[in-house]
A and B are shown apart, each in its own frame.
Chain A
Amino acid sequence: MKKTPLNQIHRQLGARMVDFGGWDMPVQYSGVIAEHMAVRTTAGLFDVSHMGEIEVSGVQAFDFLQYATTNDVSGLADGQVQYTALCYETGGVVDDLTLYRFAADRYLLCVNASNSDKDFAWLQDLLEKSDFSDLNLINRSAEYAQLALQGPVAANILAKLTSTDLSAIKFYRFAEGEVAGIKTIISRTGYTGEDGFELYCADADGVKLWQELMSVGQSLGLEPIGLGARDTLRLEKAYALYGHEITAEIMPIEARLAWITKLKKGNFVGRDAMLKAKEAGLSRKLIALTLTTSGVPREGYPVICNGREVGYVTSGTMSPSLKKGIALALVETASADSDQPLEIGIRKHHILAERTALPFVK
């Protein structure tokens, strides 16, 4: 199994480790609920070194990315980050990612861990089949450690270790600086819905960065956070997770990601299929549901309308903040938009679920 540079630290902290897409990762330390609440109320530190990083550089980097990704790269300035996706010609999703612009001719893509090899091969293939030249595509995944520092006091903690003016780094912006003397990309992004940062440093510096952050953060309530709480935190904010809300069989415009799918920007991979699907009328859409009685909706459970199965849960959990079962579900458009009650099938029960405005937790 693949290990991040922090593997030994997780074990020393007594984390429960799991196989996460071929990576030996911590799923929890003290417990999912306590970790979840720490991020909502103080701060949490996540090892996300398993994430992949792909560099795209060269004169035609912009043109290539404009063609390969769904969002409009022309809106991106140096020091800015963009949430975007790679799609197949079918409109299904290869991966979702964040795109960093360092310069007009240099970008970094941060992609899902279990997709990074697939993404890199996909981009290489696109490049070979296209007319783009003067372009370098480098898989830098093994070179970076990445930590996510998330929560209302994340900025206070980070400020103790850096001279970089954090107030100048707005949401979805980044800067290159030093944290505890370590060269770091400081990105004001995250997957929790809280203020916070994603910090990229050299693989060899990952342990030191973690230790320095923990040592200055402890008095402010900083806790190590595993993948269990990472999932409940993102789900309360209804952030998509690859393999669940978006897959090779689900188009971003079906999964509430029309905002990163700029169909009018010009040609890009997957656009034609999505234009066609949109013109025909989308047959299904992602909606949010909250259970009206106790129970835990989970991935794959059926969504039922008037006794008929009309969709399925893509992700579900017991929300630690709301103490209610919450779910994202891919449902036939007609049923989703109707006023007919929806139920989720949990074992032998059908439990009434209310359509919910997103995010679940404001």
Chain B
Amino acid sequence: MNFPEELKYTEDHEWVLVEDDIITVGITDFAQDQLGDVVFVELPEVGDTLEAGKTLGVVESVKAVSDVYAPASGEVVEVNEALPDEPEALNNSPYEDGWMIKLKLADPAALDSLMDVSAYQEFVEKD
């Protein structure tokens, strides 16, 4: 399983790419593998305000519905418009074509609790 080193990770299996006060969020390779074939994605709209720990969207596989949670509070500045039409990108390319949203952080320090790659790897192995 692939977990890029430059990313941060949550216990709910989201990945976070930090670029100044903007973060890009998606679900990890582990999450997509657990879900199986993704067939439906629901994303927020640009301008929506998200609260840390609250649902940012929904990913559905043939068998399961899974909420995706906001890793931090902030405003949605961009969503992956292509994703609802090709939800399989979450399986095939979870870190690139499968990115979900970009969020402008309300408080950049709020990311301190996220895991780095080695902590996440350990977390997944225990899960």
Q: A31-B36, A33-B37, A294-B84 are in contact. Are A318 and B62 (CB under 8 A)?
A: yes
Interface flag for B58 (CB, 8 Å): yes
- Give the complex CA separation of A232 and B65 in angstroms: 16
Contacts of A31 in B (CB 8 A): 36-37
Q: Are B65 and A228 closer than 8 Å at their CB atoms?
A: no
**Closest A residue to B91 using CB positions:** A31
Q: Is the interface of B mostly helix, strand, loop or mixed?
A: strand
Q: Is B40 engaged at the interface, CB distance under 8 Å to the other chain?
A: yes
A32:B60 contact, CB within 8 angstroms: no
B63 within 8 A of A: yes
A298 within 8 A of B: yes
CB within 8 Å of A: which of B28-67?
Answer: 36-37, 39-40, 42, 58, 60-63, 65
* Count of interface residues, chain A, beta-carbon cutoff 8 Å: 17
User: CB < 8 Å: which of A295, A320, A347 contacts B62?
Assistant: A320
Given contacts A294-B84, A347-B58, contact A27 B63 (CB under 8 A): yes
Query: Would A32 and B40 count as touching, CB distance under 8 A?
Result: no
Check B40–A228 contact: CB distance below 8 A.
no
B36 and A294 contacting across the interface, CB-CB below 8 Å: no
Cα distance A139–B60 when bound, in Å? 40
From A27, A28, A34, A296, B65 is in contact (CB under 8 Å) with A296
Q: Residues of B contacting A294 with CB < 8 Å?
A: 40, 84
Within 8 Å CB of B63, what residues of A? 27, 32, 228
| Contacting residues of chain B (53-85) with chain A, CB-CB under 8 angstroms | 58, 60-63, 65, 84
* B85 nearest CB neighbor, chain A only: A294
Identity of the chain B residue whose Cβ is nearest the Cβ of A318 in the assembled complex: B39
B37 touches A32 (CB 8 A): yes
Q: Is the CB of B36 within 8 A of A318?
A: no
A150 adjacent to chain B (CB < 8 Å): no
A-B contact pairs, 6 of them (CB 8 A): A32-B37, A33-B37, A34-B37, A295-B40, A296-B40, A347-B58
Q: Known A-B contacts: A296-B39, A317-B62. Give 11 more (CB < 8 A).
A: A27-B63, A31-B37, A33-B37, A33-B39, A34-B37, A228-B63, A232-B62, A298-B65, A318-B60, A320-B62, A347-B58
Using a CB–CB cutoff of 8 Å, the interface residues on chain B facing chain A are 36-37, 39-40, 42, 58, 60-63, 65, 84
A residues apposed to B, CB below 8 Å: 16, 27-28, 31-34, 228, 232, 294-296, 298, 317-318, 320, 347
Closest 5 CB pairs of A and B: A318-B39, A32-B62, A33-B37, A296-B60, A296-B40
